[in-house]
Amino acid sequence: MKTAFAGNDQKSDRSDCRIGLTLKQSGGLDIHLQSKVETLYGESIHACCRKVMQAFSLPHAEIVISDNGAPEYVISARLEACVKKLRKTYIEVLPDMLSQNVHATKRDRLRRSRLYLPGNTPKLALNAGLHSGDGVILDLEDSVAPERKDEARILVRNTLRAVDFYGAERMVRINRGEPGSRDLEAVIPHHVNVILLPKCEDAEQVRETDRYIQNLRKDNGIDHEVWLMPIIESAMGVMQAFEIAGAAPSVAALAVGLEDYTADIGVQRTAKGRESLFARSQVVNAAKAHHIQAIDSVFSDVSDTQALRENVRASKALGFDGMGCIHPRQIRVIHEAFAPTAGEIEKARRIVEAFREAEKRGLGVVAVGSKMIDPPVVKRAVKIMELAEGKA
């Protein structure tokens, strides 16, 4: 008999479990549970396993569980992954969808910070929204080993349904090609807000993904928009950035990934970032030309807060609207550094007041002092005031 495994059972793998499943011809369900919380939750863990096996019409099996405090949606995902390694089936065992997870986000929503989390590591996702990041990314690409992507896909699907993100935008970074299509099939029906497209090098890649998503939305009755954030990570991507940024109406932001980009052009990434100035400027200009957000790369040195702060200030000066995070402690620094300065707030206040006065007087032209103010400048000033007032 063949045994399938899914999950993680190291001491550091809190909120996870390792499940081994062997299907049998008879004898019913034989569940072996090893857990420090068995006294409190053993009965509910057994009930969860019985529910999953019943859904797949598999009444006879041996299930071995090494549990490290996994919630029910994780146990269910791990057992479903085991079943699908042994049987070809399209059945899904879905946890209840939290009502607060059924919501849309705006195209120009504030995206100063987005926290990357490995899609196959539940302990990091459980309370990720409490860190007050603008977005949480459940990653199915680089952070997941190729042989674990199927089980990660099921776990991410369950996470989108069962975990409270506390208002953070719900994002998923998918894989390229056919695995990416399977990623989309898994997450689109469950109210994901943003799909990140890694290593994007041409506009057709974006259009093809957009078409696939629109069909999935229609098939699953998803009436709110799912936004796209292509990530530029190569020399070719940089040169195609303008076309990529305007490839589909669902593109809400354009991001740059500097680890892969610097590797592609054969240089080392440095703290000062001179080697990536062209790429970052290209991404900013491509995004702004299409009136979408520009999102900078992650800063990889988690321990150096001052260097992060300087990096964010430089990012803001180039025109970026936000950047990625690899640790929750980076979020506060990023938000503070992207916040408007006193001078920016005062200038924005004068522009907004001048605009409102011109509106009252029925004037079609706005002026501050001797300078004429165009509508895009007014729009930016309003955005700065919203940021300053915490309304963005």
* One domain for residues 139 and 156: yes
92 occurs within a structural domain? no
93 occurs within a structural domain? no
* One domain for residues 262 and 369: no
* One domain for residues 118 and 208: yes
106 occurs within a structural domain? yes
* One domain for residues 135 and 245: yes
* One domain for residues 76 and 171: no
Tokens at 152, concatenated:
């990660």
Given a contact cutoff of 8 angstroms between Cβ atoms, the answer to whether 202 and 163 are in contact is no
CATH of residue 154's domain is: 3.20.20.60
Q: How do residues 187-231 score in pLDDT, each as one tens digit?
A: 999 999 999 999 999 999 999 999 999 999 999 999 999 999 999
Is residue 256 scored above 60 in pLDDT? yes
142 occurs within a structural domain? yes
Percent of the chain at pLDDT exceeding 70:
98
Over the Cα atoms of the chain, what is R_g? 24
Q: What is the domain extent for residue 42? A: 3-86
* One domain for residues 17 and 112: no
Q: How do residues 23-40 score in pLDDT, each as one tens digit?
A: 999 999 999 999 999 999
Helical H runs in the chain?
38-55, 72-86, 122-125, 149-162, 177-187, 203-220, 235-239, 241-245, 258-265, 277-289, 305-318, 329-338, 342-360, 375-388
Of 55, 86, 117, which one is at a domain's C-terminal end? 86
Of 52, 86, 120, which one is at a domain's C-terminal end? 86
Bridge pairing between strands 29-34 and 3-7: unpaired
- pLDDT, position 391: 56
Name the average pLDDT for the chain.
94
* One domain for residues 44 and 176: no
* One domain for residues 175 and 321: yes
Given a contact cutoff of 8 angstroms between Cβ atoms, the answer to whether 157 and 187 are in contact is yes
Given a contact cutoff of 8 angstroms between Cβ atoms, the answer to whether 163 and 125 are in contact is yes
By CB neighbour count within 10 A (0-12 exposed, 13-18 middle, 19+ buried), where does 228 fall? buried
43 occurs within a structural domain? yes
CATH of residue 54's domain is: 3.30.230
Is residue 379 scored above 90 in pLDDT? no
Of 64, 86, 108, which one is at a domain's C-terminal end? 86
Burial 314-343 (b: 16+ CB within 10 A, else e): bbbebebbbbbbeebebbebbbebbebeee
* One domain for residues 172 and 73: no
- pLDDT, position 291: 95
* One domain for residues 324 and 350: no
Residue 90 dihedral angles phi and psi, to the nearest 5°: -105, 5
Number of domains in the chain: 3
Q: How do residues 153-181 score in pLDDT, each as one tens digit?
A: 999 999 999 999 999 999 999 999 999 99
Q: Is the pTM of this model over 0.75?
A: yes
DSSP state of 295: E
Is residue 392 scored above 60 in pLDDT? no
* One domain for residues 65 and 133: no
* pLDDT band with cut points at 50, 70 and 90 for residue 389: confident
Q: How do residues 263-316 score in pLDDT, each as one tens digit?
A: 999 999 998 899 999 999 999 999 999 999 999 999 999 999 999 999 999 999
Q: Residue 252 carries which side chain, given as an amino acid letter?
A: A
252 occurs within a structural domain? yes
* One domain for residues 250 and 159: yes
